[in-house]
Structure 1
Amino acid sequence: MEEIKHSHVEVNGLKLHVAEIGTGPMVVLFLHGFPQIWYTWRYQMIAVAKAGYRAVAYDFRGYGFSEIPAEPEKGGFIDLVEDTISLLDTFGISKAFLVGTDLGSFPAYMIAVLYPERVAGIVSLGVPFKLPGPSDARDLMPRRFLLQKVAGARQS
C-alpha cells in the first residue's frame, strides 16, 4: 500500500489520520464502518485512483490513528458530519462522492441533507437496521466497546 499517502490534519480540535491516493479533479471520500478504520477501503481507493479520481479515507475520531476526544461518550453522528465537512474544507474540496459502509453510512446521509452542495453522489453499503422515528443516533454506538477502547488508550 505504498502508493497511499498518509497524513494527520487538525480538525475540530483533534488530529485525524487521513489516507489518500490519486490526483483526479473529482474526489471520492470513503467513510468506514464500526469497528473499522480507513484500511477497509484500501483496495477500492487504489481502483478509484486508477480510474482517474482522488480517493480519500480517514479514521473517524477515536478510531485507528485518529485522536480520541476528551469526552467520547458525549459525541454523536453530528460530530462525524462536522469532522468530514471540516476535512473537506482543510483539503479545499468543494464537492465529493461519499461512500459509506455500516456506521459510515449515517454521516454520509446526514451530510447530503445538511450540506447538499458538498455532495456529488452517495453510495451506501451494509446500513445497520434502525427503526423509523425519532431517536438519538448515539443509540447505535456500542457503548461498552467505545468505553473499553477509550480506557485502554488512556492507560497506554
Structure 2
Amino acid sequence: MALEIEHTHLPIRGLNLHVAQVGKSDLGTVLFLHGFPEIWYSWRHQMQAVAAAGYRAIAPDCRGYGLSDQPPEHEAASFDDLVADVLAILDALDVPKAFLVAKDFGARPAYDFALQHPERTRGVVSLGAPYSPGPMPFYDRLPEGFYIHRWRVRTTTHL
C-alpha cells in the first residue's frame, strides 16, 4: 500500500519552492534532486520505496521547475543557487543530515552540496552524471547523440 505523498510550498531564499515528501525519518532522510527537464514526480516510485524502508523522502521542484517559482532573473540562476536552496530546504524541514540522490542536472548541486556541507551530508548517489572536479567543459564530455546535444541544436536553430 502506497503512502500518501504530501505537498507543500516553502519560502526559500525569496521564492516559494514546491516540495513533495513522504515517510518518517526513523533511519534518516533522503533528498532527491531531479534532472532536466523534469520535476519531483520523476522520483515518486523511489520515494515510496524509501519511505516503506523507514526513511523520510523529500523531492523538491528546483527553482523554475514544476510548481516552484521562477526566479526573477532566470538567466542569473546558478548551480550555487541550487546548492543554497538545498541547504535552505533542509533547514526549513529541520533535517540535520541527508542522503542526496540525484540524476542528470541535479547531480552537480548534489556533489557541490556534499563538498560544501559535509556535516549535513550522509552520502551521495548520482545517476547519469559522474563527478568531475573543477571547471568542466560539460558539453565536450557528453557522448555524441546525447539528448542535451539534440536539445541544444533544436533550440539554437529556432531562435
Q: 1:31 aligns with which of 33, 49, 52?
A: 33
What is aligned with 1:10?
Answer: 11
Question: Secondary structure of the equivalent of 1:28?
Answer: strand
What is aligned with 2:63?
Answer: 61
Question: How many residue pairs were aligned?
Answer: 143
Alpha carbons 2:3, 2:23 under 8 Å: kept? no
What is aligned with 2:89?
Answer: 87
Q: Report the alpha carbon displacement of residue 75 of structure 1 after superposing the two structures with TM.
A: 1.1
| Aligned equivalents of 2:89, 2:33: Cα separation in 1 | 12
Question: Cα RMSD between the aligned structures?
Answer: 2.6
Q: Which amino acid aligns with 2:92?
A: T
Q: Which amino acid aligns with 1:104?
A: G
Q: Report the alpha carbon displacement of residue 116 of structure 1 after superposing the two structures with TM.
A: 0.6
What is aligned with 1:148?
Answer: none
Work out whether 1:74 is the aligned partner of 2:87.
no
Q: Report the alpha carbon displacement of residue 128 of structure 1 after superposing the two structures with TM.
A: 7.0
Query: Larger Cα Rg: Structure 1 or Structure 2?
Result: 2
Question: Secondary structure of the equivalent of 1:47?
Answer: helix
| Aligned equivalents of 2:131, 2:54: Cα separation in 1 | 34
TM-superposition CA deviations, 1:31-60 (whole Å, max 9, x none): 000000000000000000000000000000
Unaligned runs of 5+ in 1: 146-156
Q: Report the alpha carbon displacement of residue 22 of structure 1 after superposing the two structures with TM.
A: 0.2
What is aligned with 1:109?
Answer: 111
Alpha carbons 2:13, 2:88 under 8 Å: kept? yes
| Aligned equivalents of 1:120, 1:128: Cα separation in 2 | 18
